[in-house]
Amino acid sequence: MNGDYRDVFNADGPLARVLPGYLYRPEQAAMAKAVGAALARLEPLIVEAGTGTGKTFAYLVPALLSGRSVIISTGTRTLQDQLFRRDVPLLAGALGLPVKIALLKGRTNYLCRHRMELASSQGSLLGGERGVTRTLARVVRWAATTQAGDLSELTDLPEQSSVWPQITSTRENCLGSECPQFSRCHVFEARRNAQAADIVVVNHHLLLADLALKDEGFGDLLPGAQAVILDEAHQVPDIAAQFFGRVWSVRQVQLLMRDIPAELTNAGVRSTAVAQAVIDVESKLEELRHGLQRGQGRYDWASLPDAFLDVLPELETALGAIATQLEGLGAGAGLANCGRRAGALANSLAALAEMSDDTGLRWVDASTAGLVLQYTPFEIAERLREYVESRPCAWVFTSATLAIGEDFSHFSARIGLPEARTLRIGSPFDYPTQARIFLPPRMPQPQDPAFAARFIEVCAPLLEANGGRAFLLYTSYRGLGEGVRALQARFPNPPFPVLVQGEAPREALLNRFRELGNAVLLATGSFWEGVDVKGEALSIVAIDKLPFASPDDPLLKARLEGIRRRGGNPFFEYQLPQAVLALKQGVGRLIRDFEDFGVIVIGDPRLKTKVYGRVFLEALPPSPVISDAGAAAAFLAAHQARLRPALARASQAP
């Protein structure tokens, strides 16, 4: 096999035999060659692969042919499943390689038999919640037959179900080798399978949790891996910051307060002192919730009221008291584990309260999931660098959005690898022919109250001319709400179906969009990336504003503060490049295939009026930039006219 994998990617090669409509793409072969070289030399590599490169196969081919043991980490569980169930087996078959593949998820995806038994024996404790006992009985029936213990097999068990934490383990509550169920444990079995595999597919949360905590059901794997390939790698720095910080959640304490009575019953122990200590902790949790004196949101530590901060040492003392009492009982592995957890929670609360604000930011996240107290370090680059350099292993970071033009310095600095080899692979799509970038004239400033209505006004003729088929992507929920109202005002009886984020789960909404074929979808947040709608159903992507992250977000504040403290310029070093990468992601929703066409609308006038606007424009695909709405509509009409005969033929086909 050549180092350039030409035999594999050629139009008459093994890929062409298994992939219908396969096209040879020199970009794909070039990426495979670079990945192959990194794997051979056990070096880090950062690759930006433009949309349409076929980057998944471009890293899988060298990974499979390298003969090395490889961990592939993806951004989402959906991608993880797709690699495990479809891409890797298909490719291994096409190449005739007998490869052992394993899928490894985080602990909370596997049944914990010990905790399921505890929960079953404590049915009365759970009985207050409607349907919980019935759900638990269903889990017990399934547990008798499951091989892998993967809870995704229970398709009708929602992740938000209060049963979920009762039947899964955490790093803290797992009894490990002391567990009576250890020999039948699904978590440890999944880990053993992964250790024996050539290719292990994980996701970034699992990989980074494991790097940071050394145990997520995965810790023993990394030393054996010779390559780690991170797809959708643009997400890695933010996820790493979560795991390299500290987290203390009310939910962890609540779970412990439920486990203690269950373990007491399990061990046949009665203790009024422990029962009273549990009541004390629960009442302190209540005081903490009230002390916050505000609703859902993220709050900087410095802004927290005394009524909240004063409860923290009392809670720490109450948790410490439970730890001491359980230790005194000396009754069995389950209760000993509860005692250790109480002690660890008390210690981590104390540590959090004393963290230095010089190295990171402390903040509170209040959401429907409960209160979470966090410490996020300003810099994670050093930690990541240590991991990468600590063992001979190739680390490949890839995504469609890592560079600003040809410059990778923003991303490579964030992951602590400023000297890593980089490669930018352009998209094989013909952007000058397939798309136009429309910058509407006379747009008000983004903060102007008239902005939302004007944005819809400039989009309206295109939506009409195109018969819908559009994404309207907003940079905030507030903007989305204003956009929905403006669209309703402009089209009281819209001539196309209108879908709005939040009406249904993300995947359901996207499927509906594809099925309808002429819908207009208004969305924000997660719809900016990882969305793939090929064909005519999507031929306009309209973006209201440049996606600068909210300056109120404490996490962003932490990062900006970190840059400021080392004498850097937060806007040019962080905010601007992040916004450019986010815009590239949003724009990347439009052209997903060689036959796709369409118009990108960007409503923000700062693209033309600010000096930094040039940085955004240079990062966009090389499509002609126009400011004439008539030209944009004519472009769409011309492409539709070209397609119409083909569509008519398709609809008449038997």
CB of 147 to ligand SF4, least distance (A): 15
CB of 189 to ligand SF4, least distance (A): 9
Binding segment toward ligand SF4, per CB under 6 A, in 177-185, 281-289, 408-416, 427-435: 177-185
- The tokens of 73 are what? 């980490």
Residue 9: left if φ>0, alpha if ψ -120 to 50, beta else—which one?
alpha
Is position 193 an interface residue for ligand SF4 (rule: CB under 6 A)? no
CA distance 448 to 446: 6
For ligand SF4, the binding residues in 604-643 under the rule CB under 6 A are none
Is position 143 an interface residue for ligand SF4 (rule: CB under 6 A)? no
Residue 85: C-alpha distances to residues 77, 153, 230, 404, 482 (Å): 12, 14, 18, 34, 41
The string of DSSP letters for 329-348 reads H--HHHHHHHHHHHHHHHHH
Which residue, 119 or 538, has its beta carbon nearer to ligand SF4? 119
CB 555 within 8 A of CB 298: yes
CB of 190 to ligand SF4, least distance (A): 10
Is position 341 an interface residue for ligand SF4 (rule: CB under 6 A)? no
| Strand partners of residue 48 | 399, 424
Is position 169 an interface residue for ligand SF4 (rule: CB under 6 A)? yes
Binding segment toward ligand SF4, per CB under 6 A, in 179-187, 196-204, 385-393, 572-580: 179-187
Is position 181 an interface residue for ligand SF4 (rule: CB under 6 A)? yes
Binding segment toward ligand SF4, per CB under 6 A, in 178-186, 257-265, 377-385, 479-487: 178-186
Which three-class secondary structure string do you get for 357-420? CCCEEEEEEEECCEEEEEEEECCCHHHHHHHHHCCCCEEEEEECCCCECCECHHHHHHCCCCCC
**Among positions 83, 88, 139, 179, the unique one binding ligand SF4 when judged by CB under 6 A:** 179
CB of 135 to ligand SF4, least distance (A): 19
CB of 19 to ligand SF4, least distance (A): 40
The string of DSSP letters for 594-631 reads TT--EEEEE--THHHHSTTHHHHHHHS-SPPEE--HHH
Is position 185 an interface residue for ligand SF4 (rule: CB under 6 A)? yes
Question: In degrees rounded to 5, what are phi and psi of residue 470?
Answer: -145, 150
For residue 29, the SS3 value is helix
CA distance 301 to 375: 10
CB of 216 to ligand SF4, least distance (A): 12
Pairing of strands 246-249, 370-377: antiparallel
- How many residues of this chain interact with ligand SF4, rule: CB under 6 A? 13
Which residue, 188 or 429, has its beta carbon nearer to ligand SF4? 188
Is position 174 an interface residue for ligand SF4 (rule: CB under 6 A)? yes
604-638 burial string, b = 16+ CB within 10 Å, else e? bbbbeeeebbebbbebbbebeebeebeebbebbee
CB of 173 to ligand SF4, least distance (A): 7
x/- map, 84-123, ligand SF4, by CB under 6 A: ----------------------------xxxx--------
Which residue, 157 or 353, has its beta carbon nearer to ligand SF4? 157
Which residue, 340 or 454, has its beta carbon nearer to ligand SF4? 340
Binding segment toward ligand SF4, per CB under 6 A, in 12-20, 32-40, 126-134, 175-183: 175-183
**Among positions 142, 182, 491, 612, the unique one binding ligand SF4 when judged by CB under 6 A:** 182
Report the side by side order of strands in the sheet with 470-473.
498-500, 520-523, 470-473, 540-543, 598-602, 435-438, 625-626
Binding segment toward ligand SF4, per CB under 6 A, in 92-100, 173-181, 338-346, 559-567: 173-181
For 87-226, list the strands marked E by DSSP. 101-103, 199-203
Is position 191 an interface residue for ligand SF4 (rule: CB under 6 A)? no
The kind and range of the H/E element at 463 are helix 451-466
Is position 139 an interface residue for ligand SF4 (rule: CB under 6 A)? no
CA distance 339 to 294: 32
List of residues contacting ligand SF4 (CB under 6 A): 112-115, 169, 174-176, 179, 181-182, 185, 187
